[in-house]
Amino acid sequence: MGEEQKILDSFRKVFRALRLSSVRIEKKLGISTAQLFVLSRLQAGEWITINELASRTNTDQSSVSVVVKKLVDEKFLLKKPHPTDKRSSIISLSLLGQKYSRTNEPLIADRLLKGIESLSSSEQKQLTQLLNQLLTAAGLANEEASLFFEEGKPRGRPGKKNKA
């Protein structure tokens, strides 16, 4: 087996795990893996900014904002103006969001993060550098890095009709 196949097989394993997890979670809970990942990063009773949540999800503010808007619309999150910065807002889990955040569904993103954290700092830098080189060579370096499987049609909870 050539190196190209080994590399592609590694990507295939990750994509397959993400896809199967996504299907399982959407079927069981009626929300996307990205939505569950965001909910899992919040604690009951705490109010945080979108920027704080972006940091907890290892993504950028604009990507997490898209997911937060859906979660607010679906009543998983509460949103109110920031008490000291009127230009921003803060979010918190609703009772429904608390219920979903406590599910024991394993998230592939958590497993990937655990794997990344097991690498040394120099290995992480090397992996980042190699992946960036690959993305550049493939013409994908400028693609948006949104949360896993968040693009696509809107999703609803089981038994709830989508508005789309």
3-state SS, residue 80: strand
pTM (2 d.p.) = 0.79
Domain of residue 16: give its range.
3-104
Burial of 138 (0-12, 13-18, 19+ CB in 10 A): exposed
Residue 157 located in a structural domain? no
Q: What is the mean pLDDT of the chain?
A: 87
Residue 150 located in a structural domain? no
pLDDT digit string (tens) for 65-119? 999 999 999 999 999 999 999 888 999 999 999 999 988 888 898 899 999 999 9
Domain of residue 36, CATH code: 1.10.10.10
| Mean pLDDT calculated for residue range 37-53 | 93
Give how many domains the chain has, as a whole number.
1
Give the C-alpha separation, 105 to 28, whole Å.
9
